[in-house]
Amino acid sequence: MYTVSLSPETDLHIVAADDTQRNAVFEAKVADDQFIEPKDWMPDAYRKTLIRQISQHAHSEIVGMLPEGNWLTRAPSLRRKAILLAKIQDECGHGLYLYSAAETLGISRDDMTEALHQGRAKYSTIFNYPTLTWADMGAIGWLVDGAAILNQVPLQRTSYGPYARAMVRICKEESFHQRQGYESMMVLAQGTEGQRRMAQDALNRWWWPSLMMFGPPDDQSPNSAQSMRWRIKRDSNDALRQKFVDVTVPQAQALGLTIPDPDLKWNETRNAYDYGAIDWAEFHAVVRGEGPVAKERLAARIDAWESNAWVRDAALAHEAKRSQRKAA
């Protein structure tokens, strides 16, 4: 067993003789909370699970634009339309940062896109639910972006450098997403009886799918243990889910809305909320691609990719011409 003891003068760029030694240097860097960078040696399995997680994260951002895009032309005011437009553009940028972070691991954008289109790569289950009323825009910002913030803030300290740095930028924008959603829900909850009912209906439909965003229970998560040992994941699925419940319940109370969970109750001993059973059969069905609007979401992505191929071709042709001129 080859061990590396880290000290300020340890030169971690030592060229280790074999993979055992390289792995020891890798493990020592992770244990020392140092970033692993693209040029560093890393175990294939580490690279593979990062490509899996980062590309799925990127796909989620891009597919996540669709439910909100569905309401852009029906926003109730210019102000709401401008806010929603800004948020959707942010999500596109988040996808860009994350695809770029994944590309540093040696996978191409085209390969990631193909994996999504062929159903070999996942995106967050939450985006396979329909957005039925304007209140869903508020519920998505408040709950979905609220859940995303809790899941993404720890990822600013994930062990892979490009992923952590992408998350710093993304988290700054995510806070605006959550606040605008909550403010929209507040306007509705304090509006007419019809608006209040619309807000409650949206909360009823988005609450449980938001809890599922954090992934399966820890004891059913095949990736968590290893991802936490590699400090890719800093908190477990259940820990973040619990944090989300504890933060969000008082927000719902402040809105005067009811969380659709009859088993929700404050547990003094745990200093946390106990909550009801999540329908994991529904979660696994949606992960399998059986979500209410899963087919429409994927079809929309494939259609966008194919009908905008000319934009990519034009940009690549322009780039080729520029490089030719520079080389001449």
57 binds ligand 3HC (CB under 6 A): yes
Distances (CA, A) of 64 to 94, 100, 144, 145, 242: 11, 18, 10, 10, 23
CA 44 vs CA 24, 29, 32, 47: distances in Å = 14, 16, 20, 5
Smallest gap from residue 275 Cβ to ligand 3HC (A): 17
Binding-site size, ligand 3HC (CB under 6 A): 29
**Cα gap 117→111, rounded to integer Å:** 10
> Nearer Cβ to ligand 3HC, position 22 or 94?
94
DSSP-based helix, strand, coil % in the chain, nearest 5: 70, 0, 30
Nearer to ligand 3HC, 25 or 58 (CB): 58
Q: Which CB, 144 or 202, lies closer to ligand 3HC?
A: 144
- Rounded to a whole number of angstroms, the CA Rg of the chain reads 22
Is residue 221 near ligand 3HC by the rule CB under 6 A?
yes
For ligand 3HC, the binding residue among 51, 61, 166, 202 (CB under 6 A) is: 61
Binding residue for ligand 3HC, selected from 213, 252, 255, 257, defined by CB under 6 A: 213
What are the distances in angstroms from CA 201 to CA 73, 75, 205? Answer: 22, 18, 6
The reply on whether position 212 binds ligand 3HC by CB under 6 A is yes
Residue 122 near ligand 3HC by CB under 6 A: yes
Residues whose CB falls within 8 Å of the CB of residue 70, separated by 6 or more in sequence, listed in order: 131
Is 64 a binder of ligand 3HC (CB under 6 A)? yes
- Which DSSP string corresponds to 198-265? HHHHHHHHHHHHHHHTT-S-GGG-TTHHHHHHTTS-SS-HHHHHHHHHHHHHHHHHHHT---S-TT-E
Residues 76-115 touching ligand 3HC, rule: CB under 6 A, are 91, 94
Question: How many Cβ atoms from other residues are within 10 Å of residue 328's Cβ?
Answer: 5
Sole window of 77-85, 141-149, 196-204, 274-282 interacting with ligand 3HC (rule: CB under 6 A): 141-149
297 near ligand 3HC (CB under 6 A): no
For 296, the token pair is 């429409």
133 binds ligand 3HC (CB under 6 A): no
Residue whose entry in the numeric block shows the structure tokens 């699970």 = 49
Site for ligand 3HC in 254-283 (CB under 6 A): none
136 binds ligand 3HC (CB under 6 A): no
Residues 152-211 that bind ligand 3HC (CB under 6 A): none
- In the complex with ligand 3HC, the residue whose CB is nearer, 60 or 113, is 60
Distance in angstroms (rounded) separating the CA atoms of residues 42 and 25: 9
Which residues are near ligand 3HC by CB under 6 A? 52-53, 56-57, 60-61, 64, 91, 94, 122, 124-125, 144-145, 148, 151, 212-216, 221-224, 227, 233, 237, 287
